[in-house]
Amino acid sequence: MEYPFSIMVLADSPFRPLVLAGSSMSSKEITKIMDVYGYIIASAKKSTAEKPIAAAVNLFTLGWLNGVRGKMAVQSFVENQPNHAAAAFLNECSGSFIDACRSLITEKKLLLIPVALSQFPLTSYPVKNAAAEDIKRTVKIWKDIFGEAPPSIWLPRGAYMPGIDELLQREGCRFVFLPGEAFPANERDTFHWISPHGLSILPYEYGQIETDHNRSTPPVIRLMEENAYSFYEQVDFLHFHGSISQNDERIIHIPLIYERMNEGRALLTAEELNRCETIFQLKHEWDDRTAFQMCEAGGVLDLEWAFCLYACLHNLEEELESAVDSLRYLLDGALKKFPDFDYAHQRMRLHYGVELIPTLLHEELDEMDGAVVMLTWEYPPNIIGGMARHVHGLAEALVESGREVIVLTSACRGAPEYECVNGVHIYRSGPLHESEYDFMRRVADLNMCLFQKGEELIRNYDISVIHTHDWLTGDAAVLLAENHQLPIVSTIHATEYGRNNGIHNELQSSIAAKEKKLISASNTVIVCSQPMKEELRVFYEARDKDIYVIPNGVEFEEHVTTEGRFHQMRPFIFSIGRMVYEKGFQTFFDIDIKNLKKRNIQFIIAGKGPLLEEWRREVKKRGYEDIIHFVGYVSDDERKALFQTCEAAVFPSLYEPFGIVALEAMAFRKPVIASATGGLKSFVLHAQTGLLFEPGNPGDLSTKIRTILDRPELAKQLGANGHEMAKELYSWKHISEQTEKVYDQTVFIKKMEGVRT
């Protein structure tokens, strides 16, 4: 890219409107401004379209020149100094500085760009979105004055980091100036530099009027009242004469650059940042709704704030005090719904010289009447155990029946922070330390993140109930419910007591304490089977709690692929679950393998967990490698294919509060052999919908497997009956209807508590 100008000036002298306001039109202060800006247009007027002059200007000054007082100042200047180089041209343009600029821009004699409005380094805003807003505001004002986006924005102190190119491009800028020191000296003028987001980069260096400008790139001259005249005088000789044609494009990633960085200079000082902190705090005092009160004088609050920051950064004490007073006065009126529009318009017209188009109201947030927030530590695509499937099925079924559902869950690599899937709003956050070794600390970390996100959601949505799944997200749920007096429903999928057949160590005891705390804080508790309800009553001191039994639901899929990596292993018995002791997969090691071998049957056991490797070693030790296969994690499609093609599904759990996977097998019309424990007993009815065996008894299990293999008609019948039962009782539609009743009941009870207090 060739430089689209021959020389560049930077006119960024502090703008002091209070000094200007108190001075007469012929005062020194106004003359100073007119000299600098007047000589810019006079120099541009002299140039040709082949060699235009570029200028980066202070947007507050430009706005002021466009305002009522600015226009009066220009007219007075032209009258008082008819011999000034710019006077005749300004007269031609009816005394309007902006019209003069427009005309020169159209003739391609002037390339005008703004310095970013607040002049705060865009890399260093200690407030989220402040840099993006500064760029937007700069462009908005520019459009108000010139009718189109500026071709570029001058970066305050040359500060740039990756992403600023994107922010500029989003607003319509085409190129950006960066300090020359960001580029290797020997390559700087060789290439046409392009940022990764596709913005052309023009390296710059400051120069003096007196120096020889026979260099390859045009210098940037800081224009002040002292050198404005000599610049105008010498501009013809100052034109850069180098002939460079940078045809080779080179993409460059620059982590950070600012002026004089390589000399070890600071970009900002901590004092400057601390000084500006009060101004950043001011930004928190209003929101879109307050701004809407001022929409007639669109953007005035933002503009006042931007000027406060500008004044604070430049240490213009009087200006700052006056601007803060002005902002507070406008804000006070807006908050009381009685804004002083006269004053607002006066500030806009006199001070800032713009009449911004009314601020667009943000679209009304979706109304979410009576929404439920579900907290869960896993949700698809993050699937660890049965909980993700459960919450997923329930959430979608609730949406289907017209309920608004927001799922709040942990972050998952590859999944967005927010998405709306089949009507379910899914927000993901935390934990900050996902690989923290200490499980309890990881859970605490996750709960902090969910709590903070939940606070944000409660502010934005009308929530009527919080529903948490297990103790893992209990702390966040309880904190949110307490803070907002919301009713809390918790589904206890399993208990620590049940998982370990008692509490035996410190970790189990901490988990059990968390479970008790959650149960005690919940208004109602849902469990998935009658045995679980008993367990809570006996071991979790929940005798006085409202505990509802709602079984888990299951999805029915018609078309499933049967191909896959396990296709060759048929016929096989399938089992799936977490590789932990209570799932009872160790029972397989002592079954009657010899006898089953004759039937050429294989055992595929899928799932991951802490005991996976140990069990694999055990298989090897016993020489069962060609019969029992611990295949580890299987994908969703593989799991379905395995269910679809197995001869039977076995669930040998020693403890199983519900056993959703057994229901899944039933949904695939497969005969189920399950241990007679917990929730499994409630839907695997022996010899009707499946076969039961004594938990942990390999002999009994072998007998039941043989029965299925020897009696295919019975196996088929059990599969068909199981399918019917699953469909009748455990469809998500059915489950969600029951859950909704619990919600209504809980909200009602909470309301009664409120009335009593």
Partner 1 sequence: MIEEIVQLKKRNFSWDQISDQLDLPLDNIKSKWRKYTRQQDGIRWQNDLNAVFLSADRLYCRWRIHPSILEAAVRCEKPLNPAIMDLRIFDITDIYYNGVNAHSVTCIKVSKDDQFWTIKGLKCNRSYICELGFLTEDYLFFPIVQSHPIHTPYQSSGDYIHRLREAKQFYHNPFRPPCWIEHPDCH
Q: How far is the CB of 434 from partner 1 (least distance, A)?
A: 5
With binding defined as CB under 8 A, does residue 561 bind partner 1? Answer: no
Closer CB to partner 1, 462 or 614, in the complex: 462
| Residues numbered 462-481 forming contacts with partner 1, rule: CB under 8 A | 462, 475, 479
Q: Are 683 and 551 in contact (CB under 8 A)?
A: yes
Position 127 contacts partner 1 (CB under 8 A) = yes
Q: How far is the CB of 267 from partner 1 (least distance, A)?
A: 6
Stretch that binds partner 1, among 3-11, 122-130, 715-723, 727-735 (CB under 8 A): 122-130
Compute the least distance from the CB of residue 744 to partner 1, in Å.
Answer: 11
Answer yes or no whether residue 754 interacts with partner 1 by CB under 8 A: yes
Q: Is 716 in the site for partner 1 (CB under 8 A)?
A: no
| Whole-Å CA distances, 119 to 312, 335, 640, 720 | 11, 29, 60, 74
**Least distance between partner 1 and beta carbon 257 (Å):** 7
Smallest gap from residue 201 Cβ to partner 1 (A):
11
Give 727: exposed, middle or buried? Use CB within 10 Å, 0-12, 13-18, 19+. Answer: middle
User: Does residue 296 interact with partner 1 by CB under 8 A?
Assistant: no
Stretch that binds partner 1, among 162-170, 399-407, 495-503, 703-711 (CB under 8 A): 162-170
CA-CA-CA-CA torsion sign (528, 529, 534, 539): negative
Contacts 24+ apart (CB under 8 A), 439-447: 439/507, 440/507, 440/510, 440/511, 443/377, 443/472, 444/475, 446/377, 446/410, 446/472, 446/473, 446/476, 447/473, 447/474, 447/475, 447/476, 447/479
| Token pair listed for 153 | 């924005």
* Sole binder of partner 1 in the list 342, 504, 505, 755 (CB under 8 A): 755
Nearer to partner 1 (CB atom), residue 128 or residue 598: 128
Stretch 74-113: interaction string toward partner 1, x if CB under 8 A: ----------------------------------------
Are β-strands 672-675 and 648-651 bridged in parallel, bridged antiparallel, or unpaired?
A: parallel
504 binds partner 1 (CB under 8 A): no
Under rule CB under 8 A, residue 289 binds partner 1: yes
Q: Is 197 in the site for partner 1 (CB under 8 A)?
A: yes
Classified as helix, coil or strand, 452 is helix
Cβ density class 657-680: b for 16+ within 10 Å, e for less: bbbbbbbbbbbbbbbbbbbebbbb
Residues in 316-355 that interact with partner 1 by CB under 8 A: 335
What residues numbered 432-461 form the site for partner 1, per CB under 8 A? 432-438, 441, 444-445, 447-448, 451-452, 455, 459
> In this chain, which of 19, 132, 244, 549 binds partner 1, going by CB under 8 A?
132
State yes or no: residue 565 binds partner 1 (CB under 8 A): no
Asked if 419 is part of the footprint of partner 1 (rule: CB under 8 A), the reply reads no
| 44 exposure class (CB count in 10 Å sphere: 0-12, 13-18, 19+) | buried
Does 182 help bind partner 1 (rule: CB under 8 A)? yes
Q: What is residue 122's DSSP assignment?
A: T
Position among 94, 262, 346, 422 found at the interface with partner 1 (CB under 8 A): 262
Told to check if 245 binds partner 1 by CB under 8 A, we report no
Task: Give the residue with the Cβ less far from partner 1, 441 or 733.
Answer: 441
Q: In the complex with partner 1, which residue's Cβ is closer, 242 or 754?
A: 754
Rounded to an integer, what distance in angstroms lies between the CA atom of residue 180 and that of residue 202? 8
Q: Tell me if 202 sits within 8 A of 226, measured CB to CB.
A: no
- Using CB under 8 A as the binding rule, whether residue 166 contacts partner 1 is answered as yes
- Name the residue with tokens 């805003």: 125
Between 28 and 265, name the residue whose CB sits nearer to partner 1.
265
* List of long-range contacts for 356-360, beta carbons under 8 Å, 24+ apart: 356/140, 356/141, 356/144, 356/298, 356/299, 356/300, 356/303, 357/144, 357/298, 358/295, 358/296, 358/298, 359/291, 359/292, 359/294, 359/295, 359/298, 359/299
Q: Which stretch binds partner 1 (CB under 8 A): 270-278, 504-512, 651-659, 711-719?
A: 270-278
Beta carbon of residue 387, minimum distance to partner 1 (angstroms, whole number): 21
Q: Which is nearer to partner 1, 687 or 752 (CB)?
A: 752
Bridge partners (DSSP) of residue 496 are none
Six-digit token string for 373: 């927030």
Residues with Cβ within 8 Å of 579's Cβ and at least 6 positions away in sequence, in order, are 585, 607, 608, 609, 610, 611, 612, 615, 630
Q: Are strands 200-204 and 175-179 parallel, antiparallel or unpaired?
A: parallel
Size of site (CB under 8 A) for partner 1:
85
Q: Per CB under 8 A, which of residues 55..74 are in contact with partner 1? A: none
- Choices 217-225, 248-256, 505-513, 610-618; region in contact with partner 1 by CB under 8 A: 248-256
Which residue shows structure tokens 């379905």?
A: 640
Lay out the site mask for partner 1 across 36-55 (x = CB under 8 A, - = otherwise): --------------------
264 binds partner 1 (CB under 8 A): yes
Residue 128 is a binding residue for partner 1 (CB under 8 A):
yes
Q: Dihedrals φ, ψ of 656, to 5°?
A: -150, 105
Residues 322 and 329: their CA atoms lie apart, in Å, by 11
The answer to whether 171 contacts partner 1 (rule: CB under 8 A) is: no
CB-based burial, 113-124: b 16+ in 10 Å, e otherwise: bbbbbbbbbbbb
Check residue 154 and report its DSSP letter: B
Q: Is 194 in the site for partner 1 (CB under 8 A)?
A: yes
Site for partner 1 in 651-710 (CB under 8 A): none
720 scored as a contact of partner 1 (CB under 8 A): no
Q: Which one, 222 or 362, has the nearer CB to partner 1?
A: 362
Task: Indicate whether 122 belongs to the interface with partner 1 (CB under 8 A).
Answer: yes
Tokens linked to 304: 């006042």
Residue 384 is a binding residue for partner 1 (CB under 8 A) = no
Residue 416 within binding range of partner 1, rule CB under 8 A: no
Residues 6+ apart with CB under 8 A from 620: none
The reply to whether 131 sits near partner 1 by the rule CB under 8 A is yes
